[in-house]
Amino acid sequence: MATKFKKPIYVTRPILPNPKKIQQGIMEIWESKQLTNVGEKHRELSSKLSSYFGNNNISLFNNGTTALMLLLKKLNLKGEVITTPFTFPATTHSLTWNNLTPVFCDIETDTMNIDADKIEKLITPKTSAILAVHIFGTPCNVQKIESLSKKYKIKVVYDAAHAFGVEVSGKNISDYGDGSIFSFHATKLFHTVEGGAVVAKNKNLIKQLNIEKNFGIEAPEKIRSAGINGKLNELQALVGLEVLKNIKKEQKERKRIKNIYIKRLKDIDGISFYVKPKNVKENFQYFVVRINKKVFGISRDELVKKLIKYNVFPSKYFYPLVSSYPHYKNLKNSNIENLNNAKLIATEVLALPFYGDLTNADVENICDILKKLKK
Ligand SMILES: *Cc1c(COP(=O)(O)O)cnc(C)c1O
């Protein structure tokens, strides 16, 4: 049909739990009179998430960026860290806040993740870690990255902000690397309005992070390090507890939507999408396509302008590349010749509206609009 939507259709909408449940939870918090500093809701969320991740070593944070900054700090990294230019600013900025130099590595065109086969030639005596991102929830080549980490004795940190609930070969994504961070921002599948977590294998690392996020206070009269305030408060934890109950249902709806997209878009030349391998359990965080200008007839950017006229607001995640920001563009590896795949992907990628409240008719209409806009 290809008709203009009456109301704007955005790329995502947060899971909004039943407000009565939130009110009830607020009453409990009011009675306890404890609003933050690791209260009952925080402990309950931490324990529920431990079961979800299958790992007791978890530390909750006020957001994913603080979680990443402190994880990098507590791993005592120095010098250079090999990372992807195709990500959200938080990934790379966390390195900068730790006085670490990002070394950008090109990405794979299919997964859009750091190309593990191109990492080795970037390793120097100054390299202390690899910071990889499971972009859009698609797992990185975790095996290859692990073998590099062993061979060169460097750490591996995963920005798993998009990968809540993702599994590889039956294992939770957080089982890989020296530590993973998750973002619980409202745009993420699981959220606490704002929030985040570190999940790691090393119990002592988590213990140190718990101290670090509380100003470095180890005991009332014992301040161990120059920490910061990174705590998740009771209201955030309450929202998280209720959102967690809705995850399965939301994923079911998103699966329905994804199936329509795939069915309707697979025959439109110039639109392509990644098909996940069988050993990966996906989380339905995003639905992302690539627009090949030559075949589709118009560029991704022209398409976005036209979609807006239909009241459809997709997102150019992640454009521009981090390596082109003023802060990073003069680094030696920001040279675009080293980053050909990333450069191409950044101009083609488009995250389509993807949230459980979209009806079949909505999704079909979006597909019809896309079909109509093809030249
Ligand atoms: C959302 C996000 C983060 C962290 O964001 P916060 O808003 O601080 O929770 C980090 N990395 C990526 C790739 C993200 O998308």
Extract the tokens encoding 369: 């609009």
Residue nearest to atom 9 of ligand 1 (CA): 64
Of all protein residues, the one whose alpha carbon is nearest to atom 4 of ligand 1 is: 64
Residue where the block lists tokens 């795949």:
341
Per the DSSP assignment, residues forming a β-bridge with 58 are: 199
Q: How many Cβ atoms from other residues are within 10 Å of residue 306's Cβ?
A: 14
Rounded Cα distance, 355 and 158, in Å = 25
Q: Does position 357 have pLDDT exceeding 90, yes or no? A: yes
Q: 248 by DSSP, 3-state: which?
A: helix
Whose alpha carbon is nearest atom 6 of ligand 1? Answer: 64
Q: How many residues does the chain have?
A: 375
- Give this prediction's pTM: 0.98
Determine the Cα–Cα distance for residues 251 and 283; give it in Å rounded to an integer.
7
- pLDDT at residue 122, rounded to an integer: 97
Give the mean pLDDT of 235-240: 98
Nearest protein Cα to ligand 1, atom 7: 185
Q: Residue 336: pLDDT above 80?
A: no
Among 285, 44, 300, CA closest to 188: 285
- For the chain, what percentages of helix, strand and coil (3-state, to nearest 5) are there? 40, 15, 40
pLDDT for residue 113 is more than 80: yes
Instruction: Pull the structure tokens for residue 245.
Output: 């109950």
Predicted confidence at residue 1, as pLDDT, reads 78
In this structure, the number of other CB atoms found within 10 A of the CB of residue 103 comes to 24
Mean pLDDT score, 191-214: 98
Is the CB of residue 137 below 6 angstroms from any atom belonging to ligand 1?
Answer: no
Model pLDDT for residues 26-80, shown as the tens digit of each residue = 999 999 999 999 999 999 999 999 999 999 999 999 999 999 999 999 999 999 9
Instruction: Provide mean pLDDT across the span 315-332.
Output: 96
Percentage of residues in the chain having pLDDT higher than 70: 100
Q: Which two tokens stand for residue 201?
A: 């294998």
Beta bridge partners of 133: 159
Kindly tell me if the per-residue pLDDT of 139 is higher than 90: yes
Q: What is the dihedral of CA 83, 86, 87, 90, to 10 degrees?
A: 60
Report which DSSP code applies to 316. -
Which residue of 60, 83, 88 sits with most ligand 1 atoms within 8 Å of its CB, as the best mutation to test the pocket? 88
Residues 148/166, Cβ–Cβ less than 8 Å: no
- Contacts with 146 (C-beta within 8 Å, 6 or more apart), sequence order: 156, 176, 177
Alpha carbon distance 183, 38 (integer Å): 18
Which pLDDT score, from 0 to 100, does residue 70 have? 98
Spatial contact of 127 and 279, defined as CB atoms under 8 Å apart: no
pLDDT at 335 over 90: no
Q: Is the CB of 133 under 6 A from ligand 1?
A: yes
Q: What is the mean pLDDT of the chain?
A: 97
Per-residue pLDDT band at 326 (split at 50, 70, 90): very high
Cα of 156 from ligand 1 centre, angstroms: 18
Mutate which of 65, 228, 232, 349 for ligand 1? The one with the most ligand atoms within 8 Å of its CB, which is: 65
Rounded to 10°, the helix 340-348/300-309 angle is 20
Instruction: State if residue 88 touches ligand 1 by the CB under 6 angstroms criterion.
Output: yes
Contact by Cβ (8 Å): 176, 113: no
Q: Which regions of 72-168 does DSSP assign to beta strands (E)? A: 80-83, 101-104, 127-133, 155-159, 167-168
Rounded to whole angstroms, the Cα distance separating 339 from 354 reads 29
Question: 188 alpha carbon to ligand 1 midpoint, in Å?
Answer: 9
